């Protein structure tokens, strides 16, 4: 079963607006990652946050992690049309950190 569930499933915004995606997971984790997938392409790693971190930034990306609620959020600020993609959270699997378990993704559409 999926470890991570993203919310919302789909999000449409205008360029310049901020986009927030949420991820919930079920079991304790060592780290949580966010990946982006452009249509017809493979996934690309965006950012990793460890279980002892609460917030992390990378350019226009801001990730938060709340281990007490087993949830994470990805904020993309000042979105651009090029941010249009699907975004997935991934957590390390229980008892086996060699494996990742991916959520079902949020499809983001940014209109120019």
Partner 1 sequence: DAGITQSPRHKVTETGTPVTLRCHQTENHRYMYWYRQDPGHGLRLIHYSYGVKDTDKGEVSDGYSVSRSKTEDFLLTLESATSSQTSVYFCAIRDGLAGNLQETQYFGPGTRLLVL
With CB under 8 A as the contact rule, which of the stretches 13-21, 40-48, 58-66, 69-77 interacts with partner 1? 40-48
Interaction of residue 10 with partner 1, rule CB under 8 A: no
**CA of residue 79 relative to chain centroid, distance:** 15
Interaction of residue 78 with partner 1, rule CB under 8 A: no
SS3 string of the chain? Answer: CCCCEEECCEEEEECCCCEEEEEECCCCCCEEEEEEECCCCCEEEEEEEECCCCEEEECCEEEEEECCCCEEEEEECCCCHHHCEEEEEEEEECCEEEEEEECCCEEEEEEC
Q: How many residues at the interface with partner 1, by CB under 8 A?
A: 21
Q: Out of 20, 22, 31, 51, name the contact with partner 1 by CB under 8 A.
A: 31
Taking the alpha carbons of 12, 34, 45, 92 in that order, is the dihedral positive or negative?
negative
With CB under 8 A as the contact rule, which of the stretches 53-61, 62-70, 71-79, 101-109 interacts with partner 1? 101-109
With CB under 8 A as the contact rule, which of the stretches 16-24, 44-52, 61-69, 75-83 interacts with partner 1? 44-52
Cβ of residue 31: shortest distance to partner 1, in angstroms?
6
Using the minimum distance from each CB to partner 1, give the nearer residue, 68 or 98: 98
Which residues of this chain interact with partner 1, rule CB under 8 A? 2, 31, 33, 40-45, 48, 88, 92, 97-105
């Amino acid at each position: 079963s999926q470890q991570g569930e993203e919310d919302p499933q789909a999000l449409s915004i205008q360029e310049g607006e901020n986009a927030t995606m949420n991820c919930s997971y079920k079991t304790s984790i060592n780290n949580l990652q966010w990946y982006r997938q452009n249509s017809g392409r493979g996934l690309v790693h965006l950012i990793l946050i460890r279980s002892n971190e609460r917030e992390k930034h990378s350019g226009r990306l801001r990730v938060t992690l709340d281990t007490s609620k087993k949830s994470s959020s990805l904020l993309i600020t000042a979105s651009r049309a090029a941010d249009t993609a699907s975004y997935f959270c991934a957590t390390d699997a229980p008892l086996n950190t060699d494996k990742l378990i991916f959520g079902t993704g949020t499809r983001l559409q940014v209109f120019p």
